[in-house]
Amino acid sequence: MINEDMYALGAAPNKIREIFAYGLDRKAQIGDDKVFDLSIGNPSVPSPAIVDETIARLAKEGKGTMHAYSMSPGLVEARAAIAENLNKRFNQNYSAANLYLTAGASSAICIAIKAVVLPGEELIAITPYFPEYKTWASNAGAVTVEVPARTSDFQLDIPAIEAAITPKTAAIVINSPNNPVGSVYSDENLKQLADLLRAKNAELGRTIYLISDEPYRELVYDGLVPAWVPDLYEATFVCYSWSKSFSLPGERIGYLLVPNTMPDWQRVYTACSGAGRSLGYICDSVLFQKVVAECVDAPVEIEPYDRNRKILLDGLREIGYNVIEPQGAFYMWIEALEPDAEAFCEVCRQHELLLVPSNGFLTQGWTRVGYCCSEETIRGSLKAFKEVYDEYQAR
Ligand code: PLP
């Protein structure tokens, strides 16, 4: 006998990977330069040189216990270096004890949910959202309650969140800079959320946790500085990874921060350790823990994404698409030219343009365009976007 729920999850199509696999096949058939794959969030900017050099040096120097297990939360020196980096950047007072190193932001979110959302309780997620939140909530026996972002600007819709909070609400997960929209929540918007959560905590006699999913933190444009969310709301987990900032998604290195401002933070941290253990995490990659310990202060290169963003935004608007101007991450949210986003993406595919329909993010009628690819691909894609637009105009 097998677990049928797990079978269903394993058999469920992963839309983005499906499109990506199709793109690879198609490129092999007709040539790399003829397919415009704007589907997956694999960064195209190379990892910082210092990261590559450190990996090579550590691998060469490594002997004896270099590759041994670390303690489950990670090496103290790696956690201390990350804490120091956060203290400098955000004027905090964290230490190694606040950090649990994880296999990317994914594991951090999954652990945080498991630690504070009990079976039968509710996790609020803002649509459109990274769809794995629902899987992780379900793994904790919890229910995901979906609240749409504000349609005018894709910021948090505070009255809608208020209406969705019930005595069973244990946590809310937010993601800024946002995948798939590219929005960055304003300080004001986040303060309103914090005020709402504090009022609800008092009313319901519990703590509603805020899980801040931030793998795109440094990928922001036009000088924008995203708020440090724990400064606004005490019971905030920060889930981070170097997947996007250092272009290391395949290496699985990130962290869960349990700030010392969180009520009862040491007990919460211990529950996170238990959650990690129950989910089978032994420790994060030790090689990459050491890499991050040495390179955590390295600057993040955003110019190539910013260039792509501007070319795409101007090009799509000139053609006539309704586009949400992204402030961060490396995705653009464009309105499909028909209500059925899947059908629209199918038409795009016929023009060798590979996009992700919004259904994959629990929303109808939009499409995610990833611009973490080469500038050449972005420029080439605009011709295909124009052909698609003209085809719809002619209908
Ligand atoms: N959260 C968001 C919003 C993402 O877009 C991604 C990856 O694309 C993740 C989490 C997971 O990233 P990772 O586990 O590689 O850090």
14 C-alpha to ligand 1 centroid (Å): 15
Distant-in-sequence, close-in-space partners of 22: CB < 8 Å, separation ≥ 6:
349, 354
Residues 368 and 349 reside in one and the same domain: yes
Predicted local distance difference test score (pLDDT) of residue 161:
98
215 C-alpha to ligand 1 centroid (Å): 6
pLDDT > 80? residue 185: yes
Predicted local distance difference test score (pLDDT) of residue 134:
96
Residues 240 and 272 reside in one and the same domain: yes
> What mean pLDDT do residues 302-330 have?
97
CB 43 near ligand 1, within 6 Å: no
Question: How many whole angstroms separate alpha carbon 192 and alpha carbon 207?
Answer: 17
Predicted local distance difference test score (pLDDT) of residue 17:
84
Predicted local distance difference test score (pLDDT) of residue 4:
95
Predicted local distance difference test score (pLDDT) of residue 260:
95
pLDDT > 80? residue 10: yes
pLDDT > 80? residue 267: yes
Residues 149 and 187 reside in one and the same domain: yes
Question: How many whole angstroms separate alpha carbon 205 and alpha carbon 147?
Answer: 23
- Per-residue pLDDT band for 13 (boundaries 50, 70, 90) equals confident
Residues 182 and 115 reside in one and the same domain: yes
- Per-residue pLDDT band for 184 (boundaries 50, 70, 90) equals very high
Residues 268 and 314 reside in one and the same domain: no
CB 130 near ligand 1, within 6 Å: yes
CB 175 near ligand 1, within 6 Å: yes
Nearest CA to ligand 1 atom 8: 41
Domain termination residue (choose one: 266, 295, 324): 295
Which range of residues forms the domain containing residue 88?
49-295
Predicted local distance difference test score (pLDDT) of residue 146:
97
CB 370 near ligand 1, within 6 Å: no
Residues 285 and 388 reside in one and the same domain: no
Burial bucket for residue 168 (CB in 10 Å: 0-12, 13-18, 19+): middle
pLDDT > 90? residue 177: yes
> What mean pLDDT do residues 369-389 have?
96
Question: How many whole angstroms separate alpha carbon 43 and alpha carbon 340?
Answer: 28
Residues 36 and 67 reside in one and the same domain: no
Residues 261 and 309 reside in one and the same domain: no
**Overall number of domains in the chain:** 2
CB 23 near ligand 1, within 6 Å: no
Q: What is the dihedral of CA 352, 380, 224, 208, to 10 degrees?
A: 10
Residues 185 and 220 reside in one and the same domain: yes
Q: What is the CATH number of the domain that holds 255?
A: 3.40.640.10
> What mean pLDDT do residues 197-224 have?
98
Question: How many whole angstroms separate alpha carbon 143 and alpha carbon 381?
Answer: 39
Helix or strand or coil: residue 368? strand
Nearest CA to ligand 1 atom 5: 179
CB 133 near ligand 1, within 6 Å: no
202 C-alpha to ligand 1 centroid (Å): 32
pLDDT > 90? residue 395: no
CB 254 near ligand 1, within 6 Å: yes
Residues 39 and 74 reside in one and the same domain: no
Residues 15 and 154 reside in one and the same domain: no
- List residues bridging with 213 in a β-sheet: 175, 239
Domain termination residue (choose one: 295, 316, 345): 295
pLDDT in tens, 333-346: 999 999 999 999 99
> What mean pLDDT do residues 201-230 have?
97
> What mean pLDDT do residues 249-278 have?
97
Q: What is the CATH number of the domain that holds 38?
A: 3.90.1150.10
Q: Are 183 and 323 in contact (CB under 8 A)?
A: no
pLDDT in tens, 25-75: 999 999 999 999 999 888 999 999 999 999 999 998 877 778 899 999 999
Strand order in the sheet with 236-241: 99-102, 254-257, 236-241, 209-213, 169-175, 122-127, 143-148
pLDDT > 90? residue 14: no
pLDDT in tens, 64-115: 778 899 999 999 999 999 999 999 999 999 999 999 999 999 999 999 999 9
Least confident of 137-141, 272-276, 357-361: 357-361
Predicted local distance difference test score (pLDDT) of residue 64:
73
Percent of the chain with pLDDT over 90: 93
246 C-alpha to ligand 1 centroid (Å): 13
> What mean pLDDT do residues 259-274 have?
97
CB 105 near ligand 1, within 6 Å: yes
* Ranges of H-type helices in the chain: 4-11, 15-30, 49-61, 76-90, 104-116, 132-139, 158-164, 187-204, 229-232, 265-278, 286-295, 303-319, 341-350, 375-393
Predicted local distance difference test score (pLDDT) of residue 151:
87
Nearest atom (ligand 1) to Cα of 252: 15
Percent of the chain with pLDDT over 70: 100
Whether pTM exceeds 0.75: yes
CB 47 near ligand 1, within 6 Å: no
Predicted local distance difference test score (pLDDT) of residue 16:
86
Predicted local distance difference test score (pLDDT) of residue 40:
86
Q: Which tokens go with 231?
A: 């400064």
Helix or strand or coil: residue 385? helix
Residues 61 and 142 reside in one and the same domain: yes
pLDDT in tens, 145-162: 999 999 889 999 999 999
CB 183 near ligand 1, within 6 Å: no
CB 215 near ligand 1, within 6 Å: yes
Domain termination residue (choose one: 265, 295, 325): 295
